[in-house]
A and B are shown apart, each in its own frame.
Chain A
């Protein structure tokens, strides 16, 4: 059991947990993730490690309530525990002094970008960060990102805060300014990563994306998370989660992410309205 030592609301339906997991806190590196299971009937879901404090023995997880499992998780409070927490998983981000790195986070994707931006800064890079959300209320980690970035640009799709438009538009502006960029790291919803890659492809700007396919064990034994990268099948949980964005087959990834949409909707509905007919035997 892994106790939640601090649970707080970051934005509408976005929550941040600090969880006691001393061994994971000690070992994890930027770019890695955990898989968790909240209760005996629960499923295993992956979440990126947004931060770690080895001295306190805690890791930080940030998640958006998008379905049954994240809503269940969101109901947990400070002092509650997570049944299973497995990690650190995946390959760490390749961090070195590249020169100038642009770190782009979209929506909940800002959470995984934060430790990478921090790591890139510590490695001596000039860090230009671009973060964006659909609307102002969904924007997270602005202060934290400001601390680890030399330049921070913010955008919202609806213009309610910062630049009115997408992070890819802001990136285009940064590129147009003409200063050399050595690496772009983009994490967020697939359409966002895809558009960012389209922007950087023409300029031949190396772009790293972090993929979020469906996972089960996340240790390389099942292939649920497989994606096509450069025409080869790779397992995101062990070969990734980060890949060269110019090589990723995003269309396939989007289709695979939607494989269980019906069941996901059914589970979420039952969780929100447990009294409905044909609801399963479990309470929230």
Chain B
């Protein structure tokens, strides 16, 4: 369709930058960093898309969004149409447009990226979703007629919300059980406001509720009801999407001193409880002046940038490997650097030091060297003898990863878990060892990404649909 010369011309348009807050300004507020595209910028960026006949970008998206389709609608200035197109495959486009690691997914395989910069698919997705949210008009997608089947979803994070959206459209009755007082999982308690405004998550949850999804907060499954209770209470299937929310500590001396937080606690206080607005909000939070964040993932970057916004003078990322091995998104590391976060690479904390009153006053660290690659393929850090030094800090946030909360497995005896406590589930269907019980997201894979959890929710929704519809669906499957 497109002539080669025209293609070349398109490839020469530079990738459209997204306007954002200046680093010095934004490092002291909790407002979102990027402002998002204007309609003009969105159209300009959309014009770069080659509209490939066999779009590889779609294969790079874990939920197979029709990327050229929605981008074409943006080019036609049908922004709401673009949002509807996105929502055919993705229930949370405003979220995904912001937090997906597009550089490893859709944008990684974009043809334009071979010679220049890929189309900014994430930014365009965000634009269309935001546009629709701002319009405030609710468009009901095609819904199947009621099947009379009931599905319980445990956890309202990305996996559970995606699955709920899919199943409600297929005509099932869906109830989401959330342990916290707000739905969204890591989207509300983990990812800070400056990366993902909570109003956006709430709007996505509201949308699902308008479609008929029942969301019950304050329900700790495993305590108020077990999975077996849910099955006995008439649910035809149960989906477990409660994530990997168990904090990991270093197990070094001094970790129980005041001023030492797990990243989960620190971010939950700040994001979910809005402790950054204390005393308008009641939850307090320590405001360290010199803060060390242990770890190198996105959660570490979020914690460090939060500490800065809470008034820290200096914030250090302390990571035992080198910059090359940082597991965080490049964009997040870049944002952190711009805002003035300092990095201590090849540094291992060995002890947290405290004052008599029980508060942190320093951290003993050891310098590391990189040895041979380990099982994970990353070079193993080896301590350098005699290299100990003390980093003067008054707060420490431990962001070295999370594990599986044992609450549900321990109250569901016939649910098989692996040696780390993650639920064993079929990667294609989410089926667990227990009949009628499916699982997906971080509780199966360990900490991963929002979009992978959504992909798992999507696959499990298909499998649950077939399961609850029984023979009827099975014969249809054979015909397909």
A contacts, CB < 8 Å to B: 23-24, 27, 37, 41-44, 68-69, 83-89, 216-217, 219-224, 226-228, 233, 238, 252, 255-256, 258-260, 263-264, 266-267, 270, 280-282
Q: Knowing A233-B249, A281-B280 touch, does A84 contact B181 (C-beta < 8 A)?
A: yes
Select which of B217, B245, B255, B262 is within 8 A of A84 by beta carbon: B217
The reply on B47 being an interface residue by CB < 8 A is no
Chain A interface secondary structure, helix, strand, loop or mixed? mixed
Q: List, sorted by A's number, 15 A–B pairs whose CB atoms are closer than 8 Å.
A: A41-B282, A43-B282, A43-B283, A84-B217, A87-B224, A217-B268, A220-B246, A220-B407, A222-B268, A233-B251, A255-B358, A256-B358, A259-B259, A259-B358, A267-B284
Q: Provide the bound-state CA to CA distance between A155 and B20, in Å.
A: 65
Are A88 and B181 neighbours in the complex by a CB distance under 8 Å? no
Known: A267-B282, A280-B280. A43 touches B256 (CB 8 A): no
- Whether B358 pairs with A27 at a CB distance below 8 angstroms is no
- Given the complex, which residues of B lie within 8 Å of A69, measured CB to CB? 282
Chain B min CB distance to A241 (Å): 14
B-to-A contact residues, CB < 8 Å: 179-181, 217-220, 223-225, 245-247, 249, 251, 255-256, 258-259, 262, 264-265, 268-269, 273-274, 278-284, 286, 357-358, 405, 407
Q: Are A86 and B218 in contact (CB under 8 A)?
A: yes
A128 to B97, CA, bound (A): 63
Q: Smallest CB-CB separation from A89: which chain B residue? A: B223
> In the bound complex, do residue B282 and residue A23 qualify as a contact, i.e. CB atoms below 8 Å apart?
no
Q: Across the interface, do A252 and B218 meet the contact criterion of CB distance under 8 Å?
A: no
Q: Considering only CB atoms, which chain A residue lies closest to B358 in the complex?
A: A255
Q: Give min CB distance, A247 to chain B, whole Å.
A: 15
Q: Are B223 and A88 touching (Cβ within 8 A)? A: yes
Contact A228 B262 (CB under 8 A): no
Q: Are A68 and B280 in contact (CB under 8 A)?
A: no
A233 and B255 contact, CB distance less than 8 A:
yes
User: Contacts A84-B181, A252-B358, A256-B256 hold; do A41 and B220 have CB atoms under 8 A apart?
Assistant: no
**Residue among B181, B281, B405 with max Cβ neighbours from chain A (10 Å):** B181
The smallest C-beta distance from B191 to any residue of chain A, in angstroms, reads 15
Q: How many A-B residue pairs have CB under 8 A?
A: 113
A224 touches B284 (CB 8 A): no
Interchain CB contact (< 8 A) of A221 among B224, B264, B279: B264
A259 to B, closest residue via Cβ = B258
The verdict on A216 contacting B358 (CB below 8 Å), with A27-B223, A27-B224, A86-B181 known, is no
Choose from B181, B223, B262 the contact partner of A223 (Cβ within 8 Å): B262
What's the nearest-Cβ distance from chain A to residue B160, in Å? 16
A219 touching B407, Cβ below 8 Å: yes
* A233/B256 in contact, CB under 8 A: yes
Please pick, from A43, A88, A220, A256, the residue contacting B258 in the complex, using a CB distance under 8 A: A256
Q: How far is the CA of A264 from the CA of B284 in the complex (A)?
A: 8
Instruction: List, in ascending order, chain A residues with CB within 8 A of B405's CB.
Output: 219-221
Interface centre among A84, A89, A221 (most CB of B within 10 A): A221
Q: Is the CB of B282 within 8 A of A216?
A: no
Q: Tell me the bound Cα distance from A27 to B269 in angstroms.
A: 29
Q: Which of A27, A217, A263 contacts B180 (CB 8 A)?
A: A217
* B358 / chain A contacts, CB cutoff of 8 Å: 252, 255-256, 258-259
List the 6 closest A-B pairs by CB distance, nearest first.
A255-B358, A263-B284, A222-B265, A221-B245, A43-B282, A43-B283
Cα A270 to Cα B278 with chains together (Å):
12
Alpha-carbon distance between A223 and B274 when the two chains are bound, in angstroms: 18
Which chain A residues border B282 with CB–CB below 8 Å? 41-43, 68-69, 267
How far does the alpha carbon of A263 sit from the alpha carbon of B251 in the complex, in Å? 29
Q: With A and B bound together, what is the CA distance between A28 and B180 in angstroms? A: 18
